[in-house]
Structure 1
Amino acid sequence: MCGITAVAGPGDEDVVDVLLGGLRNLEYRGYDSAGVATPGDGGVSVVKREGGIDDLASALDAAAVAGSVGVGHTRWSTHGAPTDANAHPHTDCDDRVAVVHNGIIENYSTLREELLARGHSFTSDTDTEVVPHLVAERLAAGASAAEAFRDTVARLDGRYAVAMVVDGEDAVYAARDGSPLVVGVGDDRRFVASDVPSFLEHTADVVFLEDGDVVRVTADDHVVTDADGRRADRDVNTVDWQPEDAERDGFDHYMLKEIHEQPAAVERAVNGRITAAGGVDLDGFPPGSFGDVDDVQIVACGTSYHAALYARQLLAERGVPTQVFSAGEYATTPAPVGDDTLVVGVTQSGETADTLASLQAAADRGARTLAVTNVVGSTAARTCDDALFIRAGPEIGVAATKTFSSQVATLTLLAERLAEDVTGSVPEERAAVLRALERLPSDLQDVLDRAAVEPLAAQFRDRDGHFFIGRGVAYPVALEGALKFKEITYEHAEGFAAGELKHGPLALVTPDTPVFAVFSGRHDDKTLNNVEEVASRGAPVVGVASEESTDVVDAVDEFLPIPDTHPVAAGVLANVQLQLVSYHVADLLGRSIDKPRNLAKSVTVE
C-alpha cells in the first residue's frame, strides 16, 4: 500500500515526467491521492491531488513544475481522509523540506504536540507531516541535510519508509524500517522506490535496502549507511524481469494478462526442480535438508493463506504434522514451537507486515523459518533462515492470480521434499504428482484456450450472493474463488468446506444464490451430495471438474471443464476457471478490476 518513487537525474534534465511514470507503474499498490515535489534554491515545489495520476498530471501541467531531482507518492489513507491537504509530499513551515512516507509513525501524536508547542503549524491530519518539521528544526540548528534526516528518523517509532528532498540539494535521502525500499542504479541517474516496477523501464540493477538503512542518492552515486551511521555494503542485483512484464500487452486489464501468464509462470516455478530420475531438486535444499523437522507451521494472509491451506492438505496426506495460521492472528498469539519446528511464511511480496511479524515471533522463540516468496531481496527472503522463490515475475493487478498458481506449484514441490525428509520415505504418489506438475503449464494453457465463461458471467452478475464449495484441495480453491469474486466484483461471495453447508450456511441458499462447486477428483461423491442439497432448494449450481466427470455434468446446471489430471493439479486448473468468472462478472459490472476499491497490493501495515 502506498507507493514511493524518487529520482536523481543529471543537472540539466527535468525528472517530473519520470516521476509521473514511476507513479503510474506503482498504481497497482492501491492509492487515493498522489503528489510530487522537486527542490530548488528558493524552496521546494509541491503539487498534489486527491484522485488519480491523471488529476495530478493535469495539475502539474498547470503549475509548470520542473527539476532534476524529485520525489513522488501515491497515498493509501491511514491518518486523515483522502484530500489534497492530506496527500503527500508534506513540507515544513518554510517549504524547505518535502517528505513522502509509507507506513505508520506510531509516536506522531507526541511529536506533533512537541512541535506545536515550539511554534510549528500543520496543514494536514497525517502522521507524516511531523517528519519535515523535525528535519527543518535540525537544519535550523546547523545540521547538514544528512545529519538532520538521520536524527529525525531515529526519533520515529513504527514501521515506515521515508524519502526526502531539501531545497538546494541535488540528492534524495531515504530510510526504511519495516516497509520496503529499493534503489535503482541507472547509467546516469538513480532511483528510490517502493518496488522495482516503478523504474524497471530505466534499469534492472537494484539495491534492496534493509531495516535501519539510510541512503543518500545522487545522479551518479548512492551511499548506504546503517542505523549507527556506518557505511553499509549492499549488493547490486539484477532482477530477472523485463520492462514489458509490467505492461498490459494488449489485454484490457493487468489481471486478465496475468491470468493468461499462468502457464509461463508455473513453468518457471517448476523448471529445473524435477529431476530426470523423478526426484525433487529445490534450490539449496538437497535431500535431508529438513531431516530435523518434526512439525510444520505455515503463516500467510489472503490469497497466500489459501495457497498455504492447499499445502497443508498435501503435507497432511503425506504424514507431516502441519498447521496453517492467519498471520495477523499468529503475530499476536504465536503457536508453541520448538527447535524442530519449521515455520513457513508465504508472502507474494515478501513485505506483508503481518507475515513478517509472525516469522519474527517464530524466530524469536527458536523456530527455523523459511520464506516462500516472489521477490528476491525482499525482507522475508533476507531475514528468514531460508528462502524459496516462486518465480512468478511481477504481478501488477491487486487481485493475485498467477502468484497463487506459482505458490501452489512451489509449495507442492516443497511438500514432496519435506515429506521425504521428515518421514524418511518417498511418498507413494510422488511420481504421479510430479508428472501432473510437469503437465500443468500445458493443462493451464488448455483451460485458457477453451474457456468460455462470458455467457455464464452474464447469467450470474446480479444475484443475492455467491457460494463456493469444495473438499480437500478444492476447499482452499473455493475460498480463493470467493475471495477473487468479492475483491473485484464487490458482490457478496463466500467459500465453504462443502460439508459445512448443512451446519448453517444452507439457511442462506435460495434460487438467487448460485453455488460454484469445485471437484478435484477426490471425494467427489461427497461433494455431489452437497450439490444435491443446494439444488433441492432451487439454487443454480456451476460445477468445475474434469471434463471426464459425467456424474458432475449430469448433476449441475452449468459446467466448467478442466483437463483430467491428478487431484493436486486439478485445484489449480479449477481456480483459473473461477478467476475468469470473477473477471468477466466484474467487467460486466464496470468495476475497477486492477485497482479494486479500498484494497492494496502490498499490505505493509499490521
Structure 2
Amino acid sequence: MCGIVGYIGPKQAPSILVEGLKKLEYRGYDSAGISVLNGSIQVKKAKGRLAVLEEKLMAEPLEGNLGIGHTRWATHGKPSDENAHPHTEQSGNFVVVHNGIIENYLTLKEELIQKGHQFVSETDTEVIAHLLSDLFDGDLISTVRKAVAKMSGAYALGIIYKNEPDKLVAVRLASPLIIGLGKGENFLASDIPAILEHTRDVIILNDGEMAILTQDSVQVTTLTGENLQREPLKVDWDIETAEKGGYDHFMLKEIYEQPKAFRNTMGSRIDSQSGKVVFPELQLTKDEIQQVDRLYIVACGTAYHAGLIGKNIIEQLLRIPVEVEVASEYRYKNPIINERTMVMVISQSGETADTLAALRESQRLGAKVFAITNVVGSSVAREADQVIYTWAGPEIAVASTKAYTSQLIALYLFAIYLAQELGTQDSALLQQLVEELVKLPEKAEQILANTEEIKQFAEGIKEKEHLFFIGRGLDYAVSLEGSLKLKEISYIHSEAYAAGELKHGTLALIEENIPVIALATQESLLDKTVSNITEVKARGAKVLGIAYEDNTEIGKSVDQVITIPRTHPLLSPALSVIPLQLLAYYTSLARGNDVDKPRNLAKSVTVE
C-alpha cells in the first residue's frame, strides 16, 4: 500500500518528507517522490528504492517549507519515473499525492483529453491534478470540493496549489490519512510511524473528511464544507508497534485489512449503473472466450487453494472443465494444451519460481496465459498475456491472508464476467452474485468484530499436536487453506479431508478429545456434513463448527460454533476462511511462536 507524507512549517520540508517516507518502507513500494513549493512547484521522483530518490536530491537539492511525498505501490501503470508520485498537471499549478483507486478515472481522463489536457503518465492520480486545474474557480478549497464530488472510488489525497503557499489540503475517503499536530508546524501522513519523530498528537481523519493545514492551524471539515471539532489522539506506541498500525503483528493487521482489500479488488470492475462486472484492462473478445474449451489454473500453496475455489466457481458458471495444478508438478507432466486452452497462473508476489516456470511452459506450448497477481511490474505480470491485479496492498507476514481472499474476489469477478459475456447463466443469478459480492466487505467486518470465541478455542487447542479439518464441496477447499494456515504458524500437525472420505480410512485417526474443525456453509450438502460430524463425535472428537449465523441446527451436533453472516453459497469461502485465519493466529500466539516469521518459510519462493 502506498505511503503519504506532508509538511508545512518553518523547517526545510525535503529532509522531513524523505525521513517520513523511510518510516513507511515496511508497507512496500516500487517508486518514490517528493514535491516542494518554493515560488514554483518542484518535483523529484524515481523508480526503485528511496536511495535512488536520495541520490537525485543530493545531485539537485530542493528547498521549501511546504511539501508532500509519496511511496508508490503500482496499480495503474507499471513502476516508472513517469508513473511515480507526486503528479502535476500541464500548467504546473497543482501537485497531488494519492493512495487508493479512482474508479471513474478513465471517464474523467477522456473528458479532460477532449478539453485539451495532455497526460504524461498511466496513472489515475494524474487525472486528479488535471481535474483540479480544469475546475479551478480561484479558490483551492472550493476547487478541491468540486473535484472530489466528481470522483468515485477510495482515496487519500495530499494537494498543494502554487498560488496558495500557506495551505496543504488533505482528503480522505476509505483510505487512511492522519494529521500530526506540531508547534508552529503540522504534518500529514498515511500512517502514524511517518511523523512519530516530530509529534505524538494526531487527528485521524474519518471517511468523507477534509483537512486544511497551515503552519499554525488545522481545520477539519466535511466534503461539503461543514466545520468539525476533532480532539487529537495522544500516541503512546513505539515505532515498531506504530508500523503495525497498533496491531501486535503484521498478520493480524493484514487479516483486518481484508474488507478494504475486497473493496480495492472490486474497485472499478463493478459498474454501479448496470450492476455488471467489467474488466477494462482485459483485451478479450467474446469470440476468444467462446474458443476456450478447457482452463488450467496453476499455482502454489495458498494461491493453489484459491485456484480450487476458482475451479468450482468457473465450472459452475461457465460449464467448462477446469483443472487445478500445483505449479511445481505442472510442467513436468507434459500438460495437454492446444489453441483452445486457457491457462491462469496465480501468484501473490508475481515472482514465484515454479509458477513463473509454468507460465513460460504454457506459452511455449501455445496457450494464452492470464495472471492474477498483487504486484505490478513483477515477472509474472510482465510475461503473462493478460493480467488481473488484486490491489490488496503489500503483505508483510509470511502466512498469506488478505492476498488469498483478494485472489478469491478476482476469481469471482472473472468467472461472473465470462458468464455474462457467454450468457451461460441466467442474468438474475449473476446479478445476485454481484450484489452479494458488494456486501462481502461489510460482512467480513462483522466477523472481525467478534473474535472472543475463536480466542477461547485457540487456548483450548494450544497443547494439541494433531488436528483435523473437514468439509464438503467448497467447504473442503476452504478446509485445505485453514489447515495450511494452522500448520504454517502454529506448527500443529493438521490435515484437511473431504468429509465424505472419512469412512475410507481417515476415521482411524479420530480418537478421544482430538479437535476437528467442521465447515458447514454449503446448504445443499448440509445434511451430509452433519452426518459426518456425527461420525467423528461418536469417536470422541471435540468439534468446532463454522456455519451461517441463522443456522440454528448445527449447534446440536458440535461442541462450539463460530458463525459467519449468510451470503450466496458460492461466495462463502471469502468469509468462512476468516475465522480459520484468526484461529491459526491466536493458536500460534498462545504457543509463543513468531507469528509473522514462521520457521523454515519465506514470503516469496523464488527458487525451484
With normalisation by structure 2, the TM-score equals 0.62
Alpha-carbon deviation of 1:272? Answer: 2.2
Matched, 1:599 2:601: yes
Q: 1:188/1:311 Cα in 2 relative to 1: closer, same or farther (>3 Å)?
A: same
2:474–2:522 contact (8 Å) kept in structure 1: no
- Give the aligned partner of residue 509 of structure 2: 508
Q: What secondary structure is seen at the aligned counterpart in 2 of 1:541?
A: strand
Q: In the TM superposition, what whole-angstrom CA distance separates every residue of 1:63-105 from its partner, at most 9, and x where no partner exists?
A: xxxxxxxxxxxxxxxxxxxxxxxxxxxxxxxxxxxxxxxxxxx
Alpha-carbon deviation of 1:315? Answer: 1.3
1:555 to 537, 554, 557: 557
Alpha-carbon deviation of 1:277? Answer: 2.0
Alpha-carbon deviation of 1:538? Answer: 0.5
Q: In the TM superposition, what whole-angstrom CA distance separates every residue of 1:106-157 from its partner, at most 9, and x where no partner exists?
A: xxxxxxxxxxxxxxxxxxxxxxxxxxxxxxxxxxxxxxxxxxxxxxxxxxxx
1:334–1:361 contact (8 Å) kept in structure 2: no
CA distance in 1, matches of 2:433, 2:25: 41
CA distance in 2, matches of 1:334, 1:348: 25
Q: What secondary structure is seen at the aligned counterpart in 2 of 1:317?
A: helix
Q: 1:251/1:521 Cα in 2 relative to 1: closer, same or farther (>3 Å)?
A: same
1:475–1:497 contact (8 Å) kept in structure 2: yes
- Give the aligned partner of residue 577 of structure 2: 575
Counterpart residue type for residue 316 of structure 2 = E
- Give the aligned partner of residue 430 of structure 1: 430
Alpha-carbon deviation of 1:417? Answer: 1.9
Alpha-carbon deviation of 1:500? Answer: 1.7
1:331–1:355 contact (8 Å) kept in structure 2: no
2:420–2:430 contact (8 Å) kept in structure 1: no
Q: What secondary structure is seen at the aligned counterpart in 1 of 2:246?
A: coil
1:528–1:555 contact (8 Å) kept in structure 2: yes
Q: 1:461/1:317 Cα in 2 relative to 1: closer, same or farther (>3 Å)?
A: same
Structure 1: runs of 5+ lacking an equivalent: 1-13, 28-180, 192-200, 211-234
- Give the aligned partner of residue 111 of structure 1: none
Q: What secondary structure is seen at the aligned counterpart in 2 of 1:592?
A: coil
Matched, 1:270 2:271: no
Q: In the TM superposition, what whole-angstrom CA distance separates every residue of 1:183-208 from its partner, at most 9, and x where no partner exists?
A: 668543279xxxxxxxxx97438897
- Give the aligned partner of residue 279 of structure 2: 282
With normalisation by structure 1, the TM-score equals 0.62
Q: What secondary structure is seen at the aligned counterpart in 1 of 2:277?
A: coil
Matched, 1:291 2:290: yes
CA distance in 1, matches of 2:422, 2:514: 44
CA distance in 1, matches of 2:601, 2:23: 20
Name whichever of 253-262 and 491-500 sits farther off.
491-500
CA distance in 2, matches of 1:182, 1:291: 41
CA distance in 1, matches of 2:521, 2:280: 29
Q: In the TM superposition, what whole-angstrom CA distance separates every residue of 1:492-549 from its partner, at most 9, and x where no partner exists?
A: 1111111122222211111232110112233111111110110010001100010111
CA distance in 2, matches of 1:271, 1:205: 16
2:78–2:376 contact (8 Å) kept in structure 1: no
CA distance in 2, matches of 1:464, 1:558: 20
1:259 to 241, 249, 255: 255
Counterpart residue type for residue 278 of structure 2 = D
CA distance in 2, matches of 1:326, 1:372: 15
* Aligned-pair Cα RMSD in Å: 3.3
CA distance in 2, matches of 1:601, 1:23: 19
Counterpart residue type for residue 366 of structure 2 = G
Alpha-carbon deviation of 1:334? Answer: 3.7
1:419–1:426 contact (8 Å) kept in structure 2: no
1:347-386 aligned at under 5 Å gives the runs: 347-386=347-386
Q: What secondary structure is seen at the aligned counterpart in 2 of 1:371?
A: strand
Q: What secondary structure is seen at the aligned counterpart in 1 of 2:54?
A: coil
- Give the aligned partner of residue 457 of structure 2: 456
- Give the aligned partner of residue 317 of structure 1: 316
Q: What secondary structure is seen at the aligned counterpart in 1 of 2:268?
A: coil
Aligned-residue identity in percent: 39
1:204–1:238 contact (8 Å) kept in structure 2: no
Q: In the TM superposition, what whole-angstrom CA distance separates every residue of 1:20-77 from its partner, at most 9, and x where no partner exists?
A: x7999499xxxxxxxxxxxxxxxxxxxxxxxxxxxxxxxxxxxxxxxxxxxxxxxxxx
- Give the aligned partner of residue 52 of structure 1: none
- Give the aligned partner of residue 396 of structure 1: 396
- Give the aligned partner of residue 304 of structure 1: 303
Query: What is the aligned length?
Result: 408
